Amino acid sequence: MNRARAYASVALSVGMAVMLGSAVLTREFPPFDLAVDLAEGIPRSGVAHPITAVLLQFRSYDTLLEIAVLLVAVVVALALRDPTPADESSPESVILDSVINTPVLTSLTMTLLPLMTMTAVYLLWAGAFQPGGAFQAGAVLAALGVLWRVSGRRTGPFAANRWSHVALLAGFAGFLAAATTTLLFGRPLLAWPSSYAGVIIVAIETVLTVSIGISLLGLFASAPAPGDERV
């Protein structure tokens, strides 16, 4: 690291600290209390947990765009994979992949498979009334998928095939379909009718869980394997 660069970095860092710190210290308080508004809106949101209500009812547009970002990231990652991959079933590709082939990991994965699936389902279900929801459940599913892949399995629920691509797309497509269906009934985008809101939110969260799990796994799986680095 050269000296001028180090000095400039320290100076900019201090400048940043001063600016941000003064912005935090001299902030103005809003004349309204959003938390109170939110608490009043919970009964008509369809779910009991405030964060889930914000994510999928009051600020569902953010969540929709977030799924779109995740999908774009995975599509780019899949597009960046090695253009000439070894045949998925050939032994070479298994050797190249980051597989840890020990009986401990294999049996641990089989033990964890039902437990982690159950945890994911519980987190999804818990999201309606306490911390939890699609993202947490999806992350657990993705972790399970990573274990599944690292222990050397290429088949089963986490194989890369046409169905995984459908699952990848299902979250965004389903969410977008639900978001635009409200337009057909003369309601604004993403404005669920409050009598069905609970059912719609749970349905969207379920599809999102699978999509998020597959997306995160796809991001992990499309990184080049350690043995595959040609210089």
Partner 1 sequence: MSAELWYALVGVVLVAAAFGAFMAHTHLLRRLLAFNIMGTGCFLILVGLAQHKRAPDPIPQALVLTGIVVAVASTALALILFRRWFAATGRTTLPEEDDV
| Residues found near partner 1 in the complex (CB under 8 A) | 1, 5-6, 8-10, 12-14, 16-17, 20-21, 24-25, 27, 33-35, 38, 50-51, 53-55, 58-59, 62-63, 66, 69-70, 73-74, 76-77, 80, 135, 212, 215-216, 219-220, 222-224, 228-231
| Closer Cβ to partner 1, 8 or 166, answer by number | 8
Q: For the CB of residue 111, give the shortest distance to partner 1 in the complex, in Å.
A: 27
Residues ≥6 apart with Cβ < 8 Å to 207: 170, 171, 174, 175
Kind plus residue range of the DSSP H or E element containing 195: none
Min dist CB 68 to partner 1, Å, is: 10
Closer residue to partner 1, CB minimum distance, 10 or 110: 10
- Sign for the CA dihedral angle at 68, 69, 75, 79 comes to positive
Which tokens belong to 199? 């059912």
Q: How many CB atoms lie within 10 A of CB 110?
A: 12
In the complex with partner 1, the residue whose CB is nearer, 83 or 103, is 83
Q: Give least dist CB 222 to partner 1, A.
A: 6
Cβ distance to partner 1 smaller for residue 68 or 105: 68
120 alpha-carbon distance from chain centroid? 13
Smallest gap from Cβ 125 to partner 1, in A, equals 18
Pick between residue 2 and residue 195 the one whose CB is nearest to partner 1. Answer: 2
122 by DSSP, 3-state: which?
helix
Q: How far is the CB of 81 from partner 1 (least distance, A)?
A: 9
Instruction: Kindly state the smallest distance separating residue 104's Cβ from partner 1, in Å.
Output: 27
Contact 170, 210 (CB under 8 A): yes
Non-local CB neighbours of 96 within 8 Å, separated by 6+ positions:
86, 225, 227, 228
Q: Which is nearer to partner 1, 113 or 191 (CB)?
A: 191
